[in-house]
Each structure stands twice: as C-alpha cells, then as structure tokens.
Amino acid sequence: MIFSSLIFLYLFLPICLLCYAGMRNVGGVKGRNAVLIVFSLLFYAWGEPVRIVYLLLSAAVNYLCGLGVGKLKAEWLRKIILILSLIYNLGMIGYFKYSGFLMENVNALFGQHFPVPEIAQLVGISFYTFQVISYVVDCYWEKVEAQVNPLKFLLYVALFPQLIAGPIVRYSTIAAEIDDRRTTVADLSSGMTRFVVGLAKKVILANELYRIVKQFLGTSPETLTVCGTWYGVILYSLYIYYDFSGYSDMAIGLGRIFGFHFDENFDHPYLCKDITEFWQRWHISLGTFFRDYLLPIPVFGIRNKYLSLALVWLCTGIWHGASWNYILWGLYYGAFILLETKIGKKKMRKIPIVLRHIYNKIVIIIGFGIFYFEDSRQLLTFFRNLTFFNPNGFFGLFEQTSVSNNLILIIVSVVCTFPLLSLVRKLTEKWKWTAPVVSAAGTVLTVALLITSSILLVDATTNPFLYYRF
C-alpha cells in the first residue's frame, strides 16, 4: 500500500484513526499501540502477505539481540551477539537486494554460468533493517535501554508511517513516546497539514515532473540535444526531491497525528552552497546513520578520515541499489566531499557565493543523471550529450515545446524548493495581526491541495514512491 492512493486516503487511514481514537478511553496507550501494530502489519502485508514473515522475523531476532547486548554483563558475549546481529541484518539485505547482482558480476568476471537468482526485493528492507541495526548498536553502546516488551519493540520496527521509505527513525527518538504520548489539537492540525503538503508534492509535482522526465530520458536519450539532456536531468532532480521529500513529509505528518515526533529528513537541500552542505540537508537520516555508525569504523585497521569517507560513500551508493551506477554515484559524491574537505571550510567560504551555487548545482544535476541511468551505455551517452560533443545539436523543438507547455509546473517546482512556509511564519511573527488571516488561508490552501490531489489520483495509474525500491 502507498500513501498516495485513494484506498489509503479514504479507507485505510480513516478506519485506523477511528480505531485509534476509540482506544483513548478504553485501552489507553496500550490499546492505541495495539491498533497501530495491527494496522502497520496490514499496511505492510497489503498485496504481498508473505513479506510480513520477514519483517516479524527481523523484529524477533533484533529484539533478542537487543536484550542480549543490553542486559548481559560479559563483554565477550555481548560482542558476539552484536556481531551475529550485524551478520543477520546485513545478510538479509545482501540476500534480497544484491545476490542476483553479485552472481551476475561473478559470471562476467570469471566467465562462469552460475544461475542468477531471481529474488523479489522486500519493500522497505533497507529502511527497517537500518533502524534495527541502530537499535542494537545503541543498546551495545549503552545509549538506550533495551526494550523488554516485544510488542513495543514490534511497534518501533513496524510503525507504518515510516516503515517503507523512512525516515530512518532511531529508537531513542520515539522510545518515550511508545510508552506515553498524547496528540494535541496542534499536533493533529500540524500533522494533517504536513501530510497534505507531502501528498501534493508527490501527486501534483513529482508525478507530473516524472511524466516529462520519461519523455526525455526514458525513451531515446541518444537522440537528445544538449539542452534537451540538461532539461531532462534538471527535471529529474526536481522530481526525485519532491517524490522523496513528499514521502518524508507524509511520514512525519502521520507520525505527528499519532503523537510521534520524527526527525526531519530534508531541509531545502537545493539552497546548499556546496556539496557537503547538500548532504547535510538531503536524506538526513541516512547521512547521520553512516556518520554515527560507519564513519568511526577503522578501515583495514587504520583510523583515517579519508579512508572512512571513501567507505561511507561507497556504502551510500551500494545502499541505494544493486547496480554499478549507484556505486559510481556514491563514489562521485564522495570525491567532491573529499575535495571540499581538502580545500577546507574557510577557503570554500572565500569563493564567491554565485560561483559556489553554480558549481554545486551542476555537480548535483549530473549526479542525478548518474543515479538515473542503470544501463552503462545510456550513461555514457548521457555524459556525451551534456557537452558539445553531442551530435544532435544544441537546441531543438522538442524541449522548446515541452518548456512552453509545462512552464507553470516548472516555475512552481523551482519556487517550492525555497522555504516558503518558514518565510510566512517569520512574517506572522513580525506582524502578529496577520496570524488569523494566514491561518485561515493555510486551511483553505490545505483543503484545496487535498481535493486537487484526490482528483488527480482518480484516473492515475499506480505510481509508487521512488524510494520504495531501496
């Protein structure tokens, strides 16, 4: 099931909210937790019930491992349990995501013909597995208390707002709220607004942008002009932002409705002044995960920040998928992070701000081109088409027509990358008399976005969030 579907919006979510609210004076927080567990498992099992077995198995294994590393006294035994937990968790990701890719490359490298396994990837496995890894490691480091109640731990693992595509929620973030939480009117209003904004990002902007992207990059990229190639990949960069940040907004909004306060996952990343800052604003939960759990690990027994950076960005690429373009994409960004680290923050700040913006936007846009093309030949064609070596010329009627037909969509997509809501809040704080007007306008706009998104979803084909693949 996906958030941006009419079944979720007008059947699953209303029933879940009614059952959740009904438990307020009956079962208290235990009853509400039970409702969320049941609906979370139903949400994940929708369309493919077998995958719930692996989710429950992951929860059971890591619940026991968390108890082991958190409660046992013998350090050697705690370390063994931690290692076994990591082997199991990374092994599950490796089996379901990378076994086919690995065998294909073994066959290509050694000229063998081993059968390539065709294993259906478990939706969301990378997200919920990283969550349980962070939990077990934090228990081992004694940063959190091991959860002794298996149902509470299952709620943490399976909580449907963030189960499929993040953000990667640390146990410490919601541990207290699992035991005691309440949803205020402000929480409900803020959560619903945030959810609808995320829905609009996905349905009104991301889906429409992707329609254009497929026309340029998804059909015959080898026929594109220079401008057509840049145009297509720029729109893809906007699409992937609205698709993923839209999901994160919906997840954070839903969490808020149920009394959970998830950390932010995006912070207007296209406002960045360099690549380092971009990754401090983009997919924040993944970046902080690697920073906290992978960066401190010695590489080949050596503590070296450059080797550690290389490992982090290699893993960032691998995490995104079983294809060489994702590995190249991770190393590509790692190279620019390393370059900026070598230059230093002080020297970077001395570079004119306009040049810094031009530099990082070009790097980001080309990076998303690497991310898009899994086929190596198409990727090489993409690189060629960005330059004057493109045999198709500089500019063509195809992109001119597309720009004129979609100008409003493009302008709105660019403008909405800016922190418009923050600007409105600052203005209402400065001129308090505008607060009632702004509040009323916000309510009207939220309702309008919900109605518009719902209308667009009536005839829409299934268009899941991109990060469901990861």
Residues with a known catalytic role = 320
Radius of gyration of the chain (CA): 23
Residue 258 phi/psi, 5-degree rounding, is -90, 5
d(CA 430, CA 373): 47
CB 199 within 8 A of CB 450: yes
How many whole angstroms separate alpha carbon 30 and alpha carbon 160? 17
The number of residues making up the chain comes to 470
Query: Which H or E run contains 422?
Result: helix 420-430
Buried b or exposed e, range 406-435, using 16+ CB within 10 angstroms: beebbeebeebbeeeeeeeeeebeeeeeee
Q: How far is CA 115 from CA 92, 121, 309, 322, in A?
A: 20, 18, 35, 17
Rounded to whole angstroms, the Cα distance separating 289 from 209 reads: 30
Contact 286, 168 (CB under 8 A): yes
CA nearest neighbour of 313 among 302, 328, 324, 301: 328
CB 456 within 8 A of CB 207: yes
| DSSP codes of every residue in 112-135 | --PPPP--PPPTTHHHHHHHHHHH
Angle at 388 between CA 384 and CA 391, to 5 degrees: 70
Whether the Cβ atoms of residue 197 and residue 420 lie closer than 8 Å to each other: no
Cis peptide before 167 (omega within 30 of 0): yes
